[in-house]
Amino acid sequence: MNILMTICGRAGSKGLKGKNLMTFNGHPLIHYTLSAIDLFKKVVDVDIDVALNTDSEELKDMIHNYPEILMVERKAEFATDTASKISVIKDSYLECKRIRQKEYDYVIDLDLTSPLRTVSDILRLLERKISQPELDVVFSVVPSRRNPFFNMVKEEGNYVTLVNNSSFTARQQAPSIYDMNASMYLYDTTFLDNKEAIFDGVCGIIEMKDYLILDIDSEEDFEWMSYLYERFLLEDEGLNEIRNNIGDWAKNS
């Protein structure tokens, strides 16, 4: 089995300027993702390549001592505010396939601005795909705090109605609803070769611990994540493992 693991971070960001370059709990954000990949590589018996897709020289400099990482230059058409993430991942896959002259079975993308993940999360992502080979995409979710069949409403003129009309009297009766937390995606490369959007394929999920769905898109997000991370470290061995594994390559970057 050949797996490509991708990290994508462009130079510009409208939500929070320079968010991909931020230091979090003493280390650049990207170091947490690379540390998770290092630990993942130690517990799976598969061939893994790692690629960074970016147009940021500063981001490249942060990991210039990281061993054997493929640098994929972000193309201009994929560096806009409207470019889809899957288009960047697909381009990374095709470029690495060309550079390495090899076929990949899966591409696993780890979001740079979602450092609150554990190695067991990545393992479960892969295990879900292996247990259900028919899945084209597997991605991470957390349980939603609101349910459109029970306690979410929309405005219609001067009144409000349920988002989805139903007769459920308790949330427990309603279908299970999840939020896509944008932390991890696994793609079957046959799907990437032929499709352009996630829900063009057969999708599966793995449920992650809900870290308040913290994804850095604003200064407030970053402040909350920094504050809560210290508390999460007290009770989450997986997060500690990743932070403590940040290696010599990081110290010298």
- The per-residue pLDDT for range 124-160, each reduced to its tens digit, is 999 999 999 999 999 999 999 888 988 899 999 999 9
Q: What percent of the chain has pLDDT over 90?
A: 62
Strands 69-73 and 153-156: what pairing?
Answer: unpaired
Q: Helical H runs in the chain?
A: 29-43, 57-62, 85-100, 119-131, 189-194, 219-235, 237-245, 248-251
User: Residue 91: which of 72, 105, 68 has the closest Cα?
Assistant: 72
Tell me the whole-structure pTM to 2 decimals: 0.91
Architecture of domain 2-144+178-251: Alpha-Beta Complex (3.90)
Q: Where are the domains of the chain?
A: 2-144+178-251
Tens of pLDDT along 170-206?
888 888 999 999 899 999 999 999 999 999 999 999 9
